[in-house]
Chain A
Amino acid sequence: MPKGYVAINVERCKGCGFCVEFCPTHVLAMSSAFNSRGYHPPHVVNPEKCSGCDLCGMFCPDFAIYGWKVSQPSNGAKKDAAR
């Protein structure tokens, strides 16, 4: 069981490669697929290595990826119910 998961918003990605490069456990790689804008988004290649550290999310300039730990599904995000 991986300790964490990653969610990728394929359409938002601009293929900068930060997440792939700086994932400490090399969970990600650039895919050969294209999104509708012609960028290659990342995809998960080593899911079992994901710790949910969310470094990918912290690096992503396009808010297109984030990670979360299995043990802490909320990952600190507070949903703003009223908005």
Chain B
Amino acid sequence: MSAQAPEAAGKIAGGQVEDAPESCAPENPVEQFLRMDRMPHIWCPGCGIGTTVNSFARALLEAGLDLDRVAVVSGIGCSGRVAGYLRLDSFHTTHGRAIPFATGLKLANPGLTVVVYSGDGDLFAIGGNHIIHAARRNVDLKVICINNLVYGMTGGQVAPTTPGGAVTTTTPYGCYEPAFNLPALMDAAGAVYVARWTTYHVRQLTRSMIDVFKKKGFCFIEILSPCPTLYQRKNRMGDGLDAMKYYKEKSKIRHGAPTAEVALSKEGEIIVGKFVDRERPEYLELMRAQLSAQLGERYVETEHLVCS
């Protein structure tokens, strides 16, 4: 294969090559959501982040959202790079602070669908304080957390989700810190929707994403994803495909499972499913109710805070 621009290079269609209906081949449905001028992306072979983007793209399509009014906010890390590849209003903010940025964005324009797409370290270590408060407040954010059990971008350091015994660059003899159970944490903090899937569960993930687009309030989806280059390799767990096979084999779908029971371990069972789906008044509803009750006609309710 000679050096060709990747997008222009060889397409092989299914079927006998001569019969292949290339002329009526549709576009890859995910491409309309991508900044194709930035492909190829930086993620490693077998990394699951790109897989989650497929689910996200299909969810956007099926949910029928006005794409001009979907904004994606990410933090720093491999997962944080998703924002830069999506052809939506997107914001690659600072490490751990996607959620407060997203809070400001959403409160100033409630008409936006604001998705936070980031990683486990970004959201739960440095960002831990922010995510629990946003959940507590029930700010209408759709948080997609790609959990690869490690800090990928910086070379594979321990994360608050790293399972006990796992080797990382900063726990070279095995992790001895207890890990967070993310669904339990989000449940306790007040999230109205809590689900976990893995990158193997592509269809269920799309369904969950559609669920959260339609639901008001703080929604959280954890997606277990392989980090083949760092987590898998350092722990002699094979590559991305090996991780996917592990997910397939060891996942058990238990919708409604008590979140305290869904903790992960290094090689154990993975409980997936939709654990929490409840109703609570969303932040702006609470704010408006309180202020109008107290101020009556003096309260000036606003929607989009746009300056001239």
Contact = CB atoms under 8 A, between A and B. Distances in A.
B14 A4 contact: yes
B20 to A, nearest CB: 7
Contacts of B90: none
B41 to A, nearest CB: 7
B289 to A, nearest CB: 39
B239 to A, nearest CB: 8
B61 A78 contact: yes
Contacts of B9: 9-12, 35-36
Contact of A21 (B15, B48, B241): B241
Contacts, number: 158
Interface residues of A, number: 48
Interface string A12-48: 1011111001100001000000111001000110010
Interface centre among B6, B22, B34 (most CB of A within 10 A): B6
B268 to A, nearest CB: 22
A73 B54 contact: no
Nearest to A80: B32
B53 to A, nearest CB: 8
B241 to A, nearest CB: 4
B28 A77 contact: yes
B118 to A, nearest CB: 17
Interface string A50-68: 1000110111111100111
A39 B7 CA distance: 16
Given A12-B40, A60-B54, A47 B61 contact: no
Nearest to A42: B12
Given A18-B244, A57-B28, A66-B29, A2 B50 contact: no
B54 to A, nearest CB: 5
23 contacts: A5-B15, A7-B14, A7-B22, A11-B1, A14-B46, A17-B46, A18-B51, A21-B245, A36-B4, A36-B9, A43-B12, A58-B203, A59-B202, A59-B244, A60-B54, A61-B47, A63-B53, A67-B14, A68-B26, A73-B25, A76-B29, A77-B26, A77-B32
The 10 A-B residue pairs whose C-beta atoms are closest, nearest first, are A61-B50, A11-B9, A14-B45, A77-B29, A5-B14, A6-B14, A58-B202, A16-B46, A11-B6, A36-B1
Interface majority SS on A: helix, strand, loop or mixed? Answer: loop
Given A60-B54, A63-B39, A63-B53, 11 more contacts: A5-B20, A11-B1, A12-B40, A17-B241, A21-B241, A22-B200, A36-B1, A43-B12, A58-B55, A67-B14, A75-B26
Interface size bracket, B side: 35 or more
Contact of A18 (B30, B43, B240): B240
Interface in B124-148: none
Nearest to B61: A76
Nearest to A53: B203
B295 interface: no
B58 interface: yes
B20 A15 contact: no
A12 B6 contact: yes
Nearest to B54: A58
A45 to B, nearest CB: 10
Query: Which of B11, B16, B43, B50 has the most chain A CB atoms inside 10 A of its CB?
Result: B50
B21 interface: yes
Interface in B175-215: 199-200, 202-203, 206
